Structure 1
Amino acid sequence: MRTNKVVPLRDAVARYVTDGATVALEGFGHLIPFAAGHEIIRQGRTGLTICRMTPDIITDQLLAAGCVDRLVASFFASGSAGSLYEIRRRVESHDPSPLSVEELSHYGMYCRYRAGAADLPFYPLRSYAGSDLPDLNPQIRTVDSPYGEGLVHVVPPLKPDVTIIHAQRADGLGNVQMWGITGAQQEAAYAAGSVVVTVEEVVAPEVIRSDPNRTILPAHAVDAVCHVPRGAHPSYAQGCYDRDSAFYREWTAISKDKQRIRQWVREWVLETADHEEYLARLGDERWQTLEVTPAPSGSVSYGRRQA
């Protein structure tokens, strides 16, 4: 087992994201792995199945770059700022080509990941009662409860080839910590064949051990750690920087125009060498508007037996 899992993002994507792979890009509201998505675009991956709760702008960008053939997702929206028009063109008009879509609720996605993580054949849930989604998605089925409670909806396991997440910090061993809103990152990681984590900061193992309850993924579940500060922009990383709401508002007009979105991908992703160059193009003035002030949550004592 490797003791140091820190590698450049370029190398991690080259190794773990292959053409035709099923890739989960998770992060709920914040900690969305935009930098990793951009690196997938730079490396010209094609034929991907992207799995994501709330596809968000990153999925629009991957589609415009020609990386994606299929989408497994829930709640199709650009955060709270508007629609995702590249997805809409593909679904509504098959422009420039059809997009295969499996739509679920947020909880349905979570249950698919959880079934994959636990290696279960399916996962039961009651929240589809009265919903139209079972009519739209043949993967949502019903079974007789073995305990005599009637029919219950079930969803199959979702097992990505690779799950990519962003977090506030990790150590070189691969122990990953995050705080703030969490979604299905842990379940999506345990369901996957490989796990890549981009982080704001790589810290010493002693830092991780000093606050173990924040460890969302232990080392044995992680294949690669990539130091990518500000790697969640334009989403946010709790305690590090705020959401770039202006970017989200700007995206509506960019996404509506088929040529403009492709021009954006070319100028901001394909013509930048890496995430550092992308950040330099954004400029310090923009980042000043995203700075946050410290808001410590207090401290706890884990205690130790006296020697």
Structure 2
Amino acid sequence: MAAPDKVTDLSSAVAAHVRDGMTVALEGFGHLIPFAAGHEIIRQGRRDLTFCRMTPDLLADQMIAAGCVSKLVASFFASGSAGSLHEVRRRVENADPQPLEVEEYSHYGMVCRYQAGAAGLPFFPLRSYAGSDLPKLNPLIRKVSDPYGGPDIYVVPPLRPDVTIVHAQRADRSGNVQMWGIVGAQQEAAYAAETVIATVEEIVEEDVVRSDPNRTVLPSHAVTAVVECPGGAHPSYTQGHYDRDNAFYREWTPISRDREAVLGWLEEWVHQVPDRAAYLDKLGAERWRGLGVAPRPSQPVDFGRRRVAAQEVAS
């Protein structure tokens, strides 16, 4: 029986799987951030989303400014170490132009929430909130008694997104997704979700995936749709494909300070740009070349095979 072909285009994937009012996770820890997917959500005008993300960097600024997000579930608010998220700050500090509901955790707290969601657990215990003020700010971070007689311990509730979206280096057509470099909570967030969309730099043949199976972070049974989307993580980076566009992060800070400038950027770079290919054309070949990386192959790995199987192939 042939494996199902899960390849589609980004517009169709978002149209089919992301609906108003959903809880949506867009994960990637500094690396492999699914910006193209976030921009397509903006382009399609989704509303009232609960947006989940560790380190809600400028993608959060953009999606919130576009009116897509009514609640943010996140940890560590920063624009990629290049400044504040001023759209987020306007909403939280001044309810300008309207308030934003925020549910804040530590990084590890978010990972534990995804793990609990993926495992079907009612909560996940962790010690790292001892001495922290976060439990005072977030009533969902609670203490429970240790049933084995130890001291009380903090717990966080499961996080089960309706849709998780990730970006990766490659996948085959049936949805076996491979990543390398910094991998954050993509696997946990995917297994916790009802639906998973993976955007990738390239679609490869099944034999390529089978040749290096340990890089398969998400196997096909966990993935709903696969989209070939080169450059889909810009301005973040994709290990082995292109570097982080640090200039873009620095440029965002003065834009983010001015709400009208943010809306103008969204109009120019999202609404007036039909897809990621057009976005990269607008970015310009010279700037894109400047983000290119030199090759650094890893050493080959010999996985071996049974001698009987090898002899059958040889014959």
SS at match of 1:82: coil
SS at match of 1:92: helix
What amino acid is the match of 1:28? Answer: F
Q: 1:2 to 1:208 in 2, by over 3 A?
A: closer
Matches within 5 A, 1:277-288: 277-288=278-289
Deviation at 1:2, TM superposition (A): 6.3
CA distance in 2, matches of 1:163, 1:123: 20
SS at match of 1:81: coil
CA distance in 1, matches of 2:194, 2:289: 39
CA distance in 2, matches of 1:254, 1:15: 32
Deviation at 1:76, TM superposition (A): 0.1
Matches within 5 A, 1:67-86: 67-86=68-87
CA distance in 1, matches of 2:237, 2:143: 38
Matches within 5 A, 1:27-106: 27-106=28-107
What amino acid is the match of 1:40? Answer: I
1:261 corresponds in structure 2 to 262
SS at match of 2:7: coil
1:250 corresponds in structure 2 to 251
CA distance in 2, matches of 1:240, 1:286: 14
CA deviations on 1:49-80 (whole Å, 9 max, x unpaired) are: 00000001111000111100000000000111
What amino acid is the match of 2:52? Answer: C
1:271 corresponds in structure 2 to 272
Show structure 1 runs of 5+ residues with no match: none
What amino acid is the match of 2:17? Answer: Y
SS at match of 2:19: coil
Scaled by the length of structure 1, what TM-score is found? Answer: 0.99
1:226 aligns with 2:206: no
2:207 corresponds in structure 1 to 206
Aligned length: 307
Deviation at 1:220, TM superposition (A): 0.3
SS at match of 1:142: strand
CA distance in 2, matches of 1:120, 1:171: 31
CA distance in 2, matches of 1:285, 1:66: 32
CA distance in 1, matches of 2:219, 2:99: 39
Identity of aligned residues (%): 68
1:217 corresponds in structure 2 to 218
Deviation at 1:167, TM superposition (A): 0.2
1:134 aligns with 2:160: no
SS at match of 2:304: coil
CA deviations on 1:211-253 (whole Å, 9 max, x unpaired) are: 0000000000000000000100000000000000000000000
CA distance in 2, matches of 1:25, 1:180: 18
Q: Name which one, 1 or 2, has greater alpha-carbon Rg.
A: 2
CA distance in 2, matches of 1:169, 1:210: 13
CA distance in 2, matches of 1:12, 1:210: 28
Deviation at 1:305, TM superposition (A): 2.0
What amino acid is the match of 2:281? Answer: A
CA distance in 2, matches of 1:10, 1:169: 19
Deviation at 1:296, TM superposition (A): 1.1
Deviation at 1:39, TM superposition (A): 0.2
What amino acid is the match of 2:91? Answer: R
2:303 corresponds in structure 1 to 302
2:145 corresponds in structure 1 to 144
CA distance in 2, matches of 1:273, 1:300: 41
CA distance in 1, matches of 2:306, 2:22: 49
CA deviations on 1:147-167 (whole Å, 9 max, x unpaired) are: 100200000000000000000
1:155 corresponds in structure 2 to 156
Q: CA RMSD in A?
A: 0.8
CA distance in 2, matches of 1:43, 1:175: 27
Deviation at 1:276, TM superposition (A): 1.0
CA deviations on 1:130-179 (whole Å, 9 max, x unpaired) are: 00000000000000001100200000000000000000000000000000
CA distance in 2, matches of 1:85, 1:277: 27
What amino acid is the match of 2:9? Answer: P
4+ runs of 1 displaced by more than 6 Å?
Answer: none
